[in-house]
């Protein structure tokens, strides 16, 4: 069975983006970038893969990406940000998407459960906070890139009501840049 993996950058005060959905405050330079990109090349947007030398890199962990509408429509975003993955956007609004992006507008939990039953690599939940809170019962693994920055306010890691869910640390990797890459598995 495939896992649903919430893989996201987060501030020290628990935000995945600023209030306007941007994430300019995160560190995009430093030793963490090469280290994380080498291990998770499929999480680099398709158009940026060549710029960082990953155009030929195989998907190692994920073959499917699931994102909320706000994550999909970040300012300056691409119509098909992860063309090298099977792409899903969760929204109840009408959304014009290319043919390689599928919209999930109802029974999100049921659809995620069906995706988890399929053969393949894991499913990457890349945002947003509201979707993560709604899908918390289905999240198997947290891969959190803690950046040494505080936003003060913004979009929380889990934005909404959710039941207490326990995870245990499975791995920790610290970088000279100050970024900590933490892996947690559901208990």
Tell me whether residue 175 is in a domain. Answer: yes
Least confident of 73-82, 116-125, 133-142: 73-82
- What is the per-residue DSSP string for 100-120? TEEEE-S-HHHHHHHHHHSSS
CA dist 176 and 173 (Å) reads 10
Sign of the alpha-carbon torsion through 53, 59, 62, 65: positive
pLDDT higher than threshold 80 for residue 179 = yes
Residues 2-56 pLDDT 10s: 999 999 999 999 999 999 888 899 999 999 999 899 999 999 999 999 899 998 9
Tell me whether residue 26 is in a domain. Answer: yes
Q: How confident is the model at residue 78 (pLDDT cuts 50, 70, 90)?
A: confident
Closest CA to 86 of 106, 60, 115, 57: 115
* Number of domains observed in the structure of the chain: 1
Q: Which domain holds residue 123?
A: 4-31+61-186
Tell me whether residue 121 is in a domain. Answer: yes
Tell me whether residue 69 is in a domain. Answer: yes
pLDDT reported for residue 74: 76
Rounded to two decimals, the pTM is 0.96
Using CA atoms, how far residue 154 sits from 10, 13, 20, in Å, is 11, 10, 8
Tell me whether residue 18 is in a domain. Answer: yes
Tell me whether residue 43 is in a domain. Answer: no
> Domain with 169 in it: what CATH number?
3.40.430.10
> Please, are residues 178 and 27 in contact by the beta-carbon 8 Å criterion?
yes
Tell me whether residue 41 is in a domain. Answer: no
CA 67 to chain centre: 7
Give, rounded to a whole angstrom, the gap between the first and last alpha carbons of the chain. Answer: 17
CA dist 89 and 14 (Å) reads 23
* Beta-strand relationship, 141-147 and 4-11: parallel
């Amino acid at each position: 069975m495939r896992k649903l993996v919430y893989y996201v950058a987060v501030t020290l005060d628990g935000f995945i983006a600023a209030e306007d959905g941007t994430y300019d405050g995160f560190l995009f330079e430093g030793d963490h970038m090469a280290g994380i990109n080498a291990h998770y090349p499929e999480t680099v947007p398709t158009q940026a893969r060549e710029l960082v030398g990953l155009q030929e890199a195989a998907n190692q962990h994920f073959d499917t990406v699931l994102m909320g509408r706000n994550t999909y429509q970040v300012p300056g975003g691409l119509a098909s940000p992860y063309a090298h993955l099977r792409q899903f956007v969760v929204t109840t609004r009408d959304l014009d998407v290319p043919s390689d992006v599928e919209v999930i507008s109802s029974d999100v939990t049921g659809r995620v459960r069906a995706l988890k039953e399929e053969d393949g690599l894991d499913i990457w939940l890349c945002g947003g906070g509201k979707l993560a809170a709604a899908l918390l019962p289905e999240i198997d693994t947290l891969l959190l890139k803690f950046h040494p920055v505080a936003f003060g306010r913004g979009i929380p890691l889990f934005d909404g009501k959710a039941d207490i869910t326990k995870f245990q640390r499975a791995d920790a990797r610290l970088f000279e840049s100050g970024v900590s890459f933490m892996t947690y598995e559901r208990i």
